[in-house]
């Protein structure tokens, strides 16, 4: 600065301009370097945030899939539990139905008693129908080991081979689930 005082004014102005340009160039270089550094830092932070977001999204999708599977599994188990309980209940009632049918086939002299028994039997059958219980059609049907229990084979019947020719105990289905297979004789 002391040199600056001894120089002519023109040179002094020129020197001030040169120093200002140098300072501006240094500042521009520093600003560009700072901007590039700041950009790189921001890009790295952005990439980290994208990775974290992708990871969280993956966790969310996996959790959602697990929950959906859990919901479907429990709904299926609930339906199966209800159906199994219904099957067990109907299974316990079938011997009562068999006894009713045998009692209706027996001779009875009191018509009022027989009519009353028929009414109760019909109510019982209606109840089973409402519960979606159906009798397996066995007599004259082709033998199916999935719904028939063959306990005997018979020769010389009017039925074709491998067809049910006699029913010893009726079989029942609850919806599409077998409650009790029909005990049958099969023609040979």
pLDDT of 27 over the 60 cut = no
pLDDT tens by residue, 129-141: 999 999 999 999 9
**Separation CA 179–CA 177 (nearest Å):** 6
The token duo for 4 is 């600056």
pLDDT of 71 over the 70 cut = yes
Fold of 134-188: Nucleotide Exchange Factor Grpe; Chain A, domain 2 (2.30.22)
Confidence band of 41 (pLDDT split at 50, 70, 90): confident
In three-state secondary structure terms, 92 is helix
**Separation CA 5–CA 67 (nearest Å):** 84
Confidence band of 108 (pLDDT split at 50, 70, 90): confident
Confidence band of 26 (pLDDT split at 50, 70, 90): low
Return the number of other C-beta atoms located less than 10 Å from residue 47's C-beta. Answer: 10
**Separation CA 13–CA 15 (nearest Å):** 5
pLDDT of residue 15: 58
Q: What percent of the chain has pLDDT over 90?
A: 68
Please state the domain extents for the chain: 134-188
pLDDT of residue 130: 95
pTM: 0.62
């Amino acid at each position: 600065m002391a040199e600056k005082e001894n120089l002519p004014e023109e040179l002094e102005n020129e020197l001030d301009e040169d120093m200002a340009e140098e300072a501006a160039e240094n500042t521009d270089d520093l600003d560009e370097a700072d901007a590039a550094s700041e950009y790189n830092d921001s890009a790295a932070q952005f990439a980290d945030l994208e990775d974290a977001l992708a990871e969280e999204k993956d966790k969310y999708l996996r959790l959602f899939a697990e929950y959906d599977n859990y919901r479907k599994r429990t709904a299926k188990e609930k339906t199966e539990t209800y159906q199994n309980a219904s099957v067990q209940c109907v299974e316990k009632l079938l011997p009562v139905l068999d006894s009713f049918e045998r009692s209706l086939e027996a001779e009875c002299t009191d018509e009022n008693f027989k009519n009353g028994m028929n009414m109760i039997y019909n109510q019982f059958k209606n109840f089973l129908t409402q519960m979606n219980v159906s009798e397996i059609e066995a007599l004259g049907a082709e033998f199916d080991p999935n719904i028939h229990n063959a306990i005997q084979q018979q020769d010389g019947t009017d039925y074709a081979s491998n067809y049910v020719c006699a029913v010893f105990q009726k079989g029942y289905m609850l919806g599409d689930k077998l409650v009790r297979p029909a005990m049958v004789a099969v023609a040979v």
